[in-house]
Structures are given as C-alpha cells and as structure tokens.
Structure 1
Amino acid sequence: MEYSKQKLSEEKVFKDPVHRYVHVRDRVIWDLVATKEFQRLRRIRQLGTTYFTFHGAEHSRFNHSLGVYEIIRRIIDDVFDGRKDWNREDRLLTLCAALLHDLGHGPFSHSFEKVFQLDHEEFTQKIIVGNTEVNKVLAKVGPDFPKKVAEVIAKTYENKLIVSLISSQLDADRMDYLLRDAYFTGVSYGHFDIERLLRVMRPREEQVVFKYSGMHAVEDYIMSRYQMYWQIYFHPVTRSAEVILTKILHRAKQLHDEYYSFKQHPVHFYSLFEDEMTLEDYLKLDENVILYYFQMWQDEDDSILSDLCTRFVNRNLFKYVDFDPAKQFKVHSKLENLFKEAGIDPNYYLVVDSSSDLPYDFYRPGEEEERLPIHLLKSNGELRELSRASDIVDAISGKRRTDHKLYYPADFIHDDTMNSETKQKIRSILESL
C-alpha cells in the first residue's frame, strides 16, 4: 500500500486538556510526531515569558501543534468531507501542514526572532525541505510533497482554501492557541464556542466561510481574541520579562563583538552572533539551552550581563509606567542623561516597549499585511463580510490599539548609596508620568 494511504493498526490518541483527545490513524502523522525536529517543540514554550505572570503557562509548541492538527482533522473529516468545494485528495497535505506549522519556532519565539532578525516561518520551511527527519518522512509520500507542505506554510500554495484553514483571521491555529492559552493561564475570557464554529464552517474555492446562522459564534471568537491579547499576550509584566530577555541577548552579542572573555563561552550563539546560522545550529537551540547560559552568566564579570541574567532567573523584573513616545520624547531624552549621570546604562535599563493589535480587519487590497476578511454565507449562497453584518465586530474593525510602557529598574532608582541627588530627579520624573 502507498505510504500516504497507510493507517496504523489501531488508532493512537494523545490525552489533551483542551480537545480531550488528539486522534491519529495516519502512518505519516504518527511518523512525523516521532521526528526529532517535532519532538524539539516540547522544549519551546508556547507563550514565551508569560509564565512569569501566569504560572500555569508552561505549555509547549508541541501541545499546540497537536491541537491545531486535531482541529483540522475534525474539520476535514467531520465537516468538509463530501462537500463540493473540498477535495479529499488534499486531506493529508492539510493535516501535515497543520501539524508542522510551528516547527521553526526558536526559544522564547518572538522575542528571540526580534533580536536576531529571524523568521520562524522561514525556518519551518527550511526544516520541511532540508536534510531533516521531517523531510525524509514527507518525501516518502512523494518527491514534491515536502515542497507543497512548505508552500502552505509560506501561504503561496495554489489552493487558497487549505492556506486559509491554517492561516487567516479565523483559522485552526488561532482557535487552538486561544483555547489552550486560556486554559493554561487560568482565565475565562479566551473561551468561545468552538463546537458551534466547526459546525457552521463551510469550504469555498478561495477560503473558509461561516454560515450566517453562526454569526454569534464568530463574534464570540473575535471578542475572545481581543480580550486575550490585552489581558494575556500584552500583559505589562510579561513584557518586562521580554525586555530583560532581549537585553541579555543584545548584551551577550555586544560582548562577543568586543572580544570579551566569557567565563561560560556562548558556543551555541556563535553562528547567530556572526550571522552564519545554519539549520543544524538553529535546531540545537531550545529554551533549556538558553536558560542554562542565563544561569551561568549570573557569575560573569560583566556587571550588566550578570545583573540582567540574575533578574531573569530570579524574576526581579523591571517596573513600568505608561508612556507616549510621540509626546514625551523630551522626557525620555532627559531621563537618558540622568541615567548616565547616575551610572546606569540607559541602553539596557531604560526601555520603551510598544504592543499593538488589530483584532479584525476588512479587506484592504494592496496594503501591507493584507488580510482576507471573514465571510458569512447566506442561505441564498451570497457572501457578506462579517463587519457589515455584526455591529459588535464593526465597532472594532480596522481599529488598531497600541499600548506603550517605559520600563526601568526600580531597585537601582531607589538605591541612594551613590548619586542620590540624580536619582531623586529620576524618581520625580517617573512619578510624574
């Protein structure tokens, strides 16, 4: 029997707190889960530094990837199967893309990417088409199969319906991470009626649409997403940990560039620091490796690297105040000078961090990060864009919300053993913000 059609002798299941069970019958899926590249995702947290704020948020990209696979499996096996716009031949491709969509995430994900100008989706594609165990499994399906999976991840695959299932404004990826992140952080506002959403999903030639009668379930999802971003993903304490994390990595790179003699040499970072990162080097990085260095760097002679690592390891985070960089740039400049006077390096200890989200957008052709809207399917077959039918979604549609915080080490500012007059000025400015 062709490898692509092989089934396991009996169904395998993963017990899952969100979906109860993740079901696997396809040999290809079972073999992909067993690859070392997929197992690596056990060592990458789904929510980065959020565990500093919500102690339950220790779940991994491995958990999430299985969850996305399970949602897609339910959609194409239970909802789409037999419908005119769905081709059964696309089933395995869609399942593999769902399972592997986050394969290229690095340690602490987006924070890590920003420091080193990396793109996890590019690394996902490299893993899929490169010299990896994942590629060997996919290539057994067909010589061009890895390329097809990579194209779905890149959103360039010719069948846009498959792409929209995994990457759109309402996709399996978002459905799983909202429910999963709400569960592990212990909050209630990330929940929505996924059973209803799946029941009203319909395949169309270009994208997934939703029956008009299910509009309220879609509204519920949009509002859950809105709340999760501002209550969980953009939480200022989590962002404080991210600020320290990024500053540690910047400091380590600067010291490397200055030929500083590390007590614990950052051998796993050399190719990153020198912009020569290979796929093999990248796959050796996970959060266990990063945290090992942070633990060891607490004893470095460089006071900044040592202090920042000690803060991160022991959760002595920066404090924050609301700050508008557009209106208060003179205040920031004055604070920078005072920090220097006080012997505190503002490059590492005075940080403006901004978070921004667009919860739902209508179609804006030609614009950067162009988003396809969510469409509702009326009984006569016509499509109606969601914000034109829903007053709730219309109220937030196309409206970007941004939050700015100024982060600083309160313990330094309140330590008057030296430069007390300068630090008093700093405190006065911060208290006035």
Structure 2
Amino acid sequence: MHTLEQLQSGALTGTTHLKLSCGLTHFPMEILQLADTLEVLDLSGNSLTALPQEFARLTKLRIVFLSNNPFTELPVVLGRCGHLEMIGFKACQIETVPENSIPASCRWLILTDNKITHLPASIGNCTQMQKLMLAGNRLQALPQELANCKNLELLRISANQLQQLPDWLFNLPKLAWLAFAGNPCSASNLAQHKVQTTNWNHLGIEEQLGEGASGIIYKAKVKPETNPILPEEVAVKVFKGSVTSDGLPEDEINASLVAGAHPNLVETLAILTGHPEKKQGLVMGLIPEGFSNLGGPPSFSTITRDTFPPGTTFTLPHVLTIARGIASVLVHLQAKGVLHGDVYAHNTLVNKHGNPLFGDFGAATVFDNTKAPLAVNLERVEVRAFGCLLDDLLQHLAPVPAEDSQTVKALKSLRDQCLQTDLIQRPSFLEIETSLTDI
C-alpha cells in the first residue's frame, strides 16, 4: 500500500504498480505523472465517483481496480484506454454501463455486486474477452452482441433476473466455466431430504484451514453431547457476505446439498445456524491428512487457466487416477442436475496416491436435468472445463516409458475431444468415464 504523500512528493516516480486506499473523493491528478511506467492501478476502497478525461493518458495501464467506490456509472474514459486488459468495479453502485465504456482490449471484466440492468451493445467489440464477472446485478437479458466474444471462457451471471439463457451462449466455442444460479431460469429446489443443522455454539472453532472468494474454512470440534450424528472433527465454511464473485451463499448451500455424497466429493454434513454475526455457513467433512491442492488459481497473466509451481510433475498413474475420479464425480453431478461451474485443479485435492477430492460449490447451479437440450448443452460446456483440467495434467506429465506411449496418446485424444469448439461434438461425461476406464 502506498500513501498520497509518497505520490505527491514524487517518491513513486517510475513505479509500475500503485495502490492507494485513503478515503479519496477525487482522482489524484499526480497519478498522471506516472503515465510512462504505470501498469497496475488499484484505487479500491475509496470514495471515488468519477474519473477525469485525462485518465486516458495512462497509456501503459493494463490493470485497474476501482472496487468498493460509489460509482453509479462505469466511466466512459475507460473505453479510450487501449491497453487495458483487466478492469475491476466490484461492489460499487453502478447502474449504467455506457456504450463504448469497455475497451476492446479488455480480457477480464469484473462488475460483480452492482445494480446494472443492461449491458451495452458495444460489449460485442470486446473480442478478446475471456472472463466476464456479472454476478449480483439486475440483468434481465444478455445483449445479442455478446455472441461476438468468441474467446469468452468464463461467465458469471448468477444472482440476476435472467428469464432464460440465450441460445447463442452455447455457440461460444471456448465457454467452459458458467454460473447462473439465483436467476428465474435456474432451478431452486432444495435437496429432497431432511437437512441436518448444527448450531455455531455446538462447535469448538480451532484454526483456519483456508480462505476462498466466498468464505473462510475452519477446523472445528463437535461437542458430542450436542450432536452425536456428526464426527468429532469437522470443517466449517463461514460465508463472507451476501454476494460473492460467483453468486449467492444460499445457492452454494443448495447445490452442495443437492449434490449429495460421492467418494470423490468433499462431504457436506450440515447447514450452520446461530452464527453470532448471522452469517451463513456449511459444516463439511474434514479433509484427511495428506491431501493438498492439485494446482493454484489463475493469475493475472493466465486469466482462466490454473497455475502450478515450477517443476510440478505428475506420474501417469496419478494422472489416470485423478482424471477417473473427477470424471466419476461429474457423471454423478450431471445426474443430480448440478452444473459445478468451477472444474479446476485449484478446487481439487489429491493425496500421494493421486486420489482426488473435489469440492467448492460456490459457482454451482442447480438446473432441471429433465429438459434434455439444456442438460446436454450445460454438460458439454463443463466437458470443456474437464478438457482444460486434463490438459493441465498432461502439460505436467512426467516422462513415461515407451510402453506407455499409447496410453498418453489416448489421453491426449480424449483431451482434444473435450476441447472441440463445436459443443455438440464433445463427449458426455459418461462417455469420458468409459474411455478413461478403457485406457
């Protein structure tokens, strides 16, 4: 974090990254003095409502974050910033997105948790767009022009007012990660079984285990006299707020319950009640020791693809075990009418044997799987995500002996089938599971 005093004194001359959060009500014009070098600007958490026209002089700027500022309109001047690739205006008060306010160079746009009712037709000019985050708005429809965004891979439109998904959505050749829960066009049925609940006061919260976009996960001990059904130790996920980058906590809870049990799924045990701050939460099975994340989340540079530490390798037996386990989970979820929406290595845990545990339903959508065309289309979107995961595994495959070359060839062929740009030509998860069994 930098200070306004540093900026005004010239101490930040030549910097490429600038972050200021100090109650700003007006854009500091001294930032323009960094135009020759500034690439990343973060002015989140201030009180800004507008940007000056001179903002376009920041010609080196690639990434800008202006979240948690009371903007009511996306600044038109952004459209004149020809090198902007990532734009973040999360949790502002934006109602209007003017025509030509989104530069054609934009690859990652975050407008989560605003009050947007319409998107401009000019968004169709953003043909490099790969990631579009629109959860928690008031959209009733998506503009037809968005169909021009052929590079779009991840779309978050949960918690809006969409009456239906447009047909052209399934013609986007690279769409792989889709979330649309919390709309009239998504199912909202809760799991058809009695839901176990556990009171916060019946849990002894211990250390924090992890943190994601939607919540914080803790290890906890269950007081045995309060709930004899639950295991002695559990994991507790406490949701941070009402809207996440993927959607609403209640939709994640719903999807987790509908998903039910599977050997390769992190088990959901109960809904949390009685939190002192009235936050929502889930009680889940504690991950056994020896499991770790298969990969890391995407970076600013990879945008939609997971990251892996340098030197990461997977043996062929591990690749097969992971792929078979995740394919089995996805067959199960499809049968339940659950689109996971976030099939990624960073949502997959593995042990030393390669056995996977899959979880995190933050982007999941419950849908009516009796509607055959919709069910097939949604499945084939998710199949592409599985293809990306399989590609990640193969990209990090350790050298194999000559006698295993045909197995590797078969895996690459299956990956290519999953990644086909014509959605309907991709295999189903049942076909994928069968293929992996036969390899």
Q: What is the TM-score normalised by the length of structure 2?
A: 0.24
Q: Choose 1 or 2 for highest CA Rg.
A: 1
Task: Identify the structure with the greater helix proportion.
Answer: 1
Q: What is the TM-score normalised by the length of structure 1?
A: 0.24
* Larger RCO, structure (CA 8 Å, separation 6 or more): 1
